[in-house]
Chains A and B, each alone.
Chain A
Amino acid sequence: MKIYPHLSTERLANVYLVTDDEGTGLIVDPAHIDKEIIEHIESCCRNLAAVLITHRHVTHTEGLGTLTKIYSVDIYAASDEINGIKCRRISDGSRLRIGNLDIEAISVPGHSMDSLVYRINGGALFTGDTLLSGSIATTHSHIEKELLVHSICTRLLTLPDTAIIYPGHGALSKLRIEKMFNHDLLESAEWDTRSLKARI
């Protein structure tokens, strides 16, 4: 598996091209499709087969129209359509096999109710806005923030520490790093309770 991160300067969002060893590939969150990412696709990917959407915010889906005009791809998301483009609906626990890539969708609501994290080949987590390097996503209310922290603690932080995080914004990370240095998680009440329990 190869993963090519690309910083979209239009939206300051990360677009990821993931390919297997035979050149079948997919895009995670087509924030903005520019010449550089097209060149990446053309040089590294023989068959762009799919697009995975972590959540429907325009910051991460704006390039969907451009991408579907150029490539014939299946779009997977937690809804039936995004920006007027038909998607294949997937939900928590859905498993896909695209080329040699094994993909599992994990529902992590909070930032938006349709937020999905994609776990590819067991160790790479594409978290969208849910979990970023050093912070978590913004939410509209305290209740949503509690829900987000709870979702992260129960659905993501239970995975192996060495899992690599490919967030929708900012630098890459690992779960171990986020457990130690994620300021939002360290500040949260649930995190306090959990780490206290772990110590006892």
Chain B
Amino acid sequence: MFPLTRCSAEGCPAFAYKDTGYCYHHNPDKEAILSGFISNLEKGNLIRDISIVNAEVRNVRAGKGLCIMASNFSFTVFEDTAFDTSSIIESFFDYCIFRRCTFIGDDIRYSVFAGSSFIDCRINDSTVIHNSFMGIDANNSDFSSNDFYFSNFSLSKLVDTSMEDCNLKRTNFRAAMTKNVSFRYSNPEEAFFRKEEGYTI
């Protein structure tokens, strides 16, 4: 788990990066932290227990077998980044911007993408169970051939996005807005679309 201690800089509400006492932005080694993170992405190393908030990551291809665990990347911008054949477990990507990113053949569990924007992105052939996509904005993206079991898309806005051949059992689309979204070969009848279809216990 990334440290739940606050940054030591006055008035900064962000979590500290590892045990340095300062968040990514107030850390004197800010550049080194980001380049170390990108290097670990490219090498496909285990990235664990870190918090990098509001960073910018561009033109990175994650190495095979990358595993991101218990980390926090809220408000980060990812452009032209490929997270293919990666594992993303218990990590936070809330309020991020993903532009032209790919998640192909991934294993994504217990993770949070709430409030993020997905523009021209691809999530394909992946296990994406038990995640939060609440309030996401997906535009011109391809979310086909995934297992979205028990994931939550409530209050999301999905436009020109394909969700074909997906397992949508117990997937929550409560109050989601869809426009030109294809569910062909998927099982939307097993998903929850209206409030009346009890989702909570």
Contact = CB atoms under 8 A, between A and B. Distances in A.
Contacts, number: 108
Given A3-B70, A171-B110, A177 B201 contact: no
B44 interface: no
A169 B134 contact: no
A162 B15 contact: yes
A70 to B, nearest CB: 25
A137 interface: yes
Contacts of A170: 130, 132, 150, 152, 172, 200
B162 interface: no
Interface size range of chain B in the complex: 35 or more
Interface string A98-135: 00000000000000000000000111100001001111
Contacts of B151: 171
Contacts of A172: 90, 92, 110-112, 132
Contacts of A169: 200-201
B134 A12 contact: no
B94 A177 contact: yes
A63 interface: no
A134 B70 contact: no
Which 3 interchain pairs have the tightest Cβ spacing? A123-B4, A171-B132, A181-B135
Interface of A: 1-3, 5, 7, 12-13, 59, 121-124, 129, 132-138, 160-162, 164, 168-174, 176-177, 180-181, 183
